[in-house]
Amino acid sequence: MKPSPDASGSLAAVAVDRDVEAAGPSRKASAKRPSKYRPSRIREKNHECILAAAEQEFALQGFQGTTIQKIAERAGLPKSNVLYYFSNKQRIYHTLFEDIMQRWNNVFSEIKPEDDPAEALAKFIRVKVELSRTHPIASRLFATEIIQGAPFLKDHLRTNMRDWVRDRAQVIQQWIDAGRMTAVDPVQLIFLIWSSTQHYADFQMQILMVENKAEYEQRDFDHAADFLVGVILRGCGLVPPSVPRA
Amino acid sequence: MKPSPDASGSLAAVAVDRDVEAAGPSRKASAKRPSKYRPSRIREKNHECILAAAEQEFALQGFQGTTIQKIAERAGLPKSNVLYYFSNKQRIYHTLFEDIMQRWNNVFSEIKPEDDPAEALAKFIRVKVELSRTHPIASRLFATEIIQGAPFLKDHLRTNMRDWVRDRAQVIQQWIDAGRMTAVDPVQLIFLIWSSTQHYADFQMQILMVENKAEYEQRDFDHAADFLVGVILRGCGLVPPSVPRA
DNA sequence: GTCTATAGTTTGATAGAC
DNA sequence: GTCTATCAAACTATAGAC
């Protein structure tokens, strides 16, 4: 869990240079070889391609259903190269979730008892909807993992995520105790926000088919976020901030 | 889509006698052979076992990730027997969804413009939560299919389910037009109820880990349903029916 | 660093003995 | 109706040529 120096917002780019411990110590030799372009560039690029391809395949077929062959084809590489960068299938899967959970943690800022409940919850909902829009595949990958019983993420759920929920729930409870919002179960409220926002990524196909659309656009996500902020904040006894409605 | 005479509430029992067209016309001969116990009994029982086992496996691993071998092991039958009852893997998968969609249709009654909005929505939420409690595996199987892009259910989504949503949304819109509830997007409201209720089946593992519980019990589902009814009805400007709260 | 060849399993599905 | 034997194909992973 070393902090990696990623300033990129790209999906796969975050995960570069995670599997280099097997490559040996010769890393600073790049300046000594002018004829070759830096090999780490190729390495990074292939890393990216493989992880992006793997994310799609794993999200579509699950862990067991995904073959290294398919990942290689989608990445445009020979199958052997995939196994050169990642020693086996599990390692690819693990690397993906390290990145996803790290990004997840980075996105969600703290909430404090002195914050305005309406503002804080609205921001939480909007950030989650935005995450569904920008990283739908990661969301589906996470969902598949949980549906299948979280064989790889169980530990993370019962440690990091439990603490995360407990902290937020405590703040919400303080808002309730201070009479600043309706008394609702804070943990259930977090579940409600999770489920309703993730739905736009995980069940996108159902939404598209039912709404008879080819793809979900920015304005559709904005509309969904406005709806959710309105209903949930009203459901918590919080006056929603002025929401433009057609 | 022939209506089958099932009065059973069991998961797999609904699907019995779906694959018999390959068995030949000799069905009423049971009375003529007193020495043998009726063969259709064995057939039914094995059908049930295979479908129940397949539901678990497909929900856990997806279509590609599931092997006939695993289904057979869980059903306690040799692999060849599974392929005797169902000619191939796709046929098992299709049969499961025929049953699931049929049960889904049977459970959800119509809503009418003259109904009370609060009562109707509360009932809808509670029925869906109850479905998550009684049929979690079917819910996860459905979720997996949608997440993977609904390769088998796409047609159903864009016909039956689209009509279903359109009808309900129209009624909700009439409630809004009559000033009986807050103006919210009816289709989004249906999505919200779907996602928030299914969450208790699909993401059960996450909920259990976060709440530090071994299993979700009846009272937990009741609590979740109470919470959802409270927040969503309040979010729609409907006074919730008196909900007992600890 | 890249890629071919292949070992060693496991898969979906079939044929046929009982 | 049940089950053993088996096939061709596809899979993960490794060894080693270039």
B245, amino acid identity: R
Instruction: Note the pLDDT of residue B22.
Output: 34
Domain CATH for B88 = 1.10.10.60
Mark the ranges of chain A whose per-residue pLDDT is less than 70: 1-40, 240-246
What is the CA A76 to C1' C7 distance in angstroms?
Answer: 25
Are A149 and A123 in the same domain? yes
Question: Is the pLDDT assigned to residue B41 strictly greater than 80?
Answer: no
Are A59 and A143 in the same domain? no
Boundary residue ending a domain (B64, B97, B130): B97
Structural domain boundaries enclosing B73 = 13-97
Are B154 and B197 in the same domain? yes
Boundary residue ending a domain (B67, B97, B127): B97
**DSSP symbol at A241:** P
Residue pLDDT, tens place only, B88-147: 999 999 999 999 998 888 887 789 999 999 999 999 999 999 999 999 999 999 999 999
Determine, yes or no, domain membership for A133.
yes
Question: Is the pLDDT assigned to residue B8 strictly greater than 70?
Answer: no
Distance CA A93, CA A88 (A): 9
Compute how many other C-beta atoms are within 10 angstroms of the C-beta atom of residue A88: 11
CA-closest candidate to residue B49, choices B87, B97, B86, B23: B86
Boundary residue ending a domain (B76, B97, B118): B97
Are A123 and A231 in the same domain? yes
Residue pLDDT, tens place only, B153-181: 999 999 999 999 999 999 999 999 999 99
Distance CA A72, CA A55 (A): 12
CB-based contacts of A28, cutoff 8 Å, min separation 6:
none
Q: How confident is the model at residue B240 (pLDDT cuts 50, 70, 90)?
A: low
- Strand C footprint at Cβ < 7 Å? A 23, 39-40, 42-43, 46, 77-81, 84; B 66-70, 79-80, 83, 87-90
Compute how many other C-beta atoms are within 10 angstroms of the C-beta atom of residue A162: 15
Are A196 and A224 in the same domain? yes
Are A71 and A133 in the same domain? no
Report the domain count for chain A. 2
Determine, yes or no, domain membership for A16.
no
- Cβ contact, residue pair B65, A60, below 8 Å: no
Instruction: Note the pLDDT of residue A240.
Output: 56
Determine, yes or no, domain membership for B213.
yes
Determine, yes or no, domain membership for A75.
yes
CB-based contacts of A213, cutoff 8 Å, min separation 6:
A207, A220
Question: Is the pLDDT assigned to residue B23 strictly greater than 80?
Answer: no
Determine, yes or no, domain membership for B75.
yes
Determine, yes or no, domain membership for A13.
no
Taking a C-beta distance cutoff of 8 angstroms, is the pair B163, B187 a contact? no
Average of per-residue pLDDT values in chain A: 83
Are B113 and B32 in the same domain? no
Are A113 and A223 in the same domain? yes
Distance CA A163, CA B183 (A): 37
Q: Tell me if chain B has a CB within 8 Å of the CB of A109.
A: no
Determine, yes or no, domain membership for A6.
no
Which residue is closest, via its CA, to the C1' of C15?
B80
What is the CA B85 to C1' D4 distance in angstroms?
Answer: 18
- Cβ contact, residue pair A148, B60, below 8 Å: yes
Domain CATH for A214 = 1.10.357.10
- Cβ contact, residue pair B210, A65, below 8 Å: no
Determine, yes or no, domain membership for A25.
no
Are A217 and A123 in the same domain? yes
Are A176 and A75 in the same domain? no
Nearest nucleotide to B92 (CA to C1') is C12
Are B85 and B121 in the same domain? no
Are A76 and A123 in the same domain? no
Question: Is the pLDDT assigned to residue B4 strictly greater than 60?
Answer: no
